[in-house]
Structure 1
Amino acid sequence: MRIEKNVELLPTIKTAGVILRPSSPELKKTFDEIKKLFEYSNIEILLENNSANMIGLEGLSLEELCKKVDFLISVGGDGTLLSVVRKSFKYDKPVLGINLGTLGFLTDISMEQLPKFIEDLKNNIYKIDNRMMVEGSVNLNKFVAFNDIVISRKSISSMIKIKGKIDGKSFNTYYGDGVIISTPTGSTAYNLSVGGPIVYPLTEAFIVTPVAPHSLTQRPLVMPADFEIEFKIMDNQGAVVIVDGQDIYEIEQNQSIKIKIANKKAKMLHRIQRNYFEVLNEKLRWGN
């Protein structure tokens, strides 16, 4: 296979750090197999501390792990990979996702494909995708998101009113169940389920999608990522802000959440053969 010029490659491929899906002690056998396969190719495997405790082994803190390894391996599904990418983001380590789940938009390597991928990895036949991340702040809380930020009503018995601004200027007021602010990577997640558009994952853009809006004139909006977006909560019951489906913050009336593109990107390790449109075709059963 011909290797393209000027592609991004790992400086060294000597050590990898493994993070396992939480609350899954049955993954010890899978970890043993992963360790055996990588070490057969002279790639040392280190294990993150929480994962190690779960399967009765010794490990390193995530910070120590990221300082020692050339790349990270997330073992589980897309949820596990989301967590790994967010927690390791500041260390700038590429993440390989091994898929043990079902859908797998992000994790594209199966255990059956792993031996061939390791061989290709050693021969520099792989690719690194650089995916847009967003930074957000709620009051004094700052966070990063890989998929999406959801602003949702606190009570199921009432709708929520949210005023949106772009670079300090009002652009819309949403009234309904909430708003999703998605990255292109996250466009196939919650955003897709409420009728938002699919956006190619290497694009730099925000997708703002209303959830069950009161007015049918409220439509999804795709905008360049160099804007700063602000959403002010107008509802007296406040709201909740959910980051990548994993972290939750409460926000009160007249308080705001601010969102902008992060100053660097998440790095994803993929098979050179991976084609995003084939993934969509397979996962969404297009044409069937």
Structure 2
Amino acid sequence: MKIAIYGREFNNTALPYVQQVFDCLMQFGIEPYLYDKFSQFISGKIFFPKKLQIFRNHNDIKGQVDVLVSLGGDGTILDTVTLVRDSGIPVIGINLGRLGFLASINKDEIASAVERLVNKQFSIDSRDLLRLNSESNIFGDENFALNDVIIHRRDNSAMMLIHAYLNGEFLNSYWADGLIVATPTGSTAYSLSCGGPIVFPRSENFVITPVSPHNLNVRPVIISDSHTLSFELEGRSSKYLISCDSRTEVIDCSMKFNVKKADFQFNLIRLNNESYLSTLRNKLLWGIDTRNY
């Protein structure tokens, strides 16, 4: 099995766990591909007996690796979306962060997780993505998102007015700080903190969630992912922010754009003892009576 490893910078408390990942891979005779910038960061901090192969972008691993391992939290996994793209390479996340809906392997499960990964004792959980299309081709060929596409006011601007259309038909005008279009995967992210519902994967839906709406009778809406959403912006400011997951650009209020389902999926690895329900219960503390603590 050929494995690639991606990670961000982290503090020294995570070093023993990262070393454990490399040690476990070495026990199975696997020499992983290592992301260039991550390799530079861990140089001199992590020991591996051989010089590792380096990758810099999606072209370097497409057709070359079987699995990509993400070391970090959910934000780190979101970074890997632009690396695997439409290659179908499955991703598994080892959680060195906090909550971790996507990066579901805990630090104390590293050894068993690597063993099951190498022995192919896992299933694939395919997740839908959003694609953002605009006149100016903002985000270039990275115009897709696993969690959400977010339209947001800048810090120095007043409330914005977002006109939303569903398949060309007027849906609503949102007076708000912003608007979130979330996938089922993203329904447990920013959308959830703004009052949006939890949507199960493979529900074939998207969620439209306003951010701090001025018109209080406006509530989150669930729509079929076969629809296309288009937007027009108004407000006192001429510039606003738009995000695809963690990638953000400044846009002009005159720009028109639409959001729809992408034509490829992102593959998450789920080990045999995992399920989406167990992840929800563990992360959101469902079924736990806090009066006992």
TM-score of the two chains, using structure 2 as the length reference = 0.87
1:250 Cα deviation (Å)?
A: 1.9
Tell me whether 1:68 sits opposite 2:64 in the alignment.
Answer: yes
Correspondence for 1:46: 33
Correspondence for 2:225: 225
Deviations 1:111-167 (A, max 9, x none): 322222233334432111100011103422141101111111125552110000111
Correspondence for 1:187: 187
Deviations 1:226-262 (A, max 9, x none): 1111111122414211221x21122222322211111
Tell me whether 1:202 sits opposite 2:197 in the alignment.
Answer: no
Deviations 1:174-226 (A, max 9, x none): 11111111010010110000100000123221100011111121010111111
Correspondence for 1:98: 94
* Paired-residue identity, %: 31
| CA distance, structure 2, for counterparts of residue 252 and residue 118 of structure 1 | 46
Tell me whether 1:249 sits opposite 2:249 in the alignment.
Answer: yes
TM-score of the two chains, using structure 1 as the length reference = 0.88
Greater shift in the superposed pair: 37-46 or 171-180: 37-46
CA contact (8 A) 1:41 1:118 kept: no
CA contact (8 A) 1:165 1:230 kept: yes
Matches within 5 A, 1:78-227: 78-138=74-134, 139-141=136-138, 142=140, 143-156=143-156, 158-227=158-227
CA contact (8 A) 1:135 1:261 kept: yes
Greater shift in the superposed pair: 263-272 or 147-156: 147-156
CA contact (8 A) 1:163 1:231 kept: yes
* 5+ long unaligned stretches in structure 2: 45-51
Q: Relative to structure 1, is the Cα distance of residues 82 and 192 closer, same or farther in structure 2, using a 3 angstrom cutoff?
A: same
Q: Relative to structure 1, is the Cα distance of residues 173 and 125 closer, same or farther in structure 2, using a 3 angstrom cutoff?
A: same
Tell me whether 1:278 sits opposite 2:278 in the alignment.
Answer: yes
* 5+ long unaligned stretches in structure 1: 1-13
| CA distance, structure 1, for counterparts of residue 40 and residue 161 of structure 2 | 45
Correspondence for 1:9: none
> Matched residue of 2:111: which SS?
helix
1:28 Cα deviation (Å)?
A: 5.2
Correspondence for 1:4: none
Amino acid corresponding to residue 189 of structure 2 in structure 1? A
Greater shift in the superposed pair: 26-35 or 212-221: 26-35
Tell me whether 1:234 sits opposite 2:234 in the alignment.
Answer: yes
Amino acid corresponding to residue 152 of structure 1 in structure 2? H
Aligned length: 274
Greater shift in the superposed pair: 65-74 or 24-33: 24-33
Tell me whether 1:15 sits opposite 2:2 in the alignment.
Answer: yes
CA contact (8 A) 2:20 2:110 kept: no
> Matched residue of 1:133: which SS?
strand
> Matched residue of 2:55: which SS?
coil
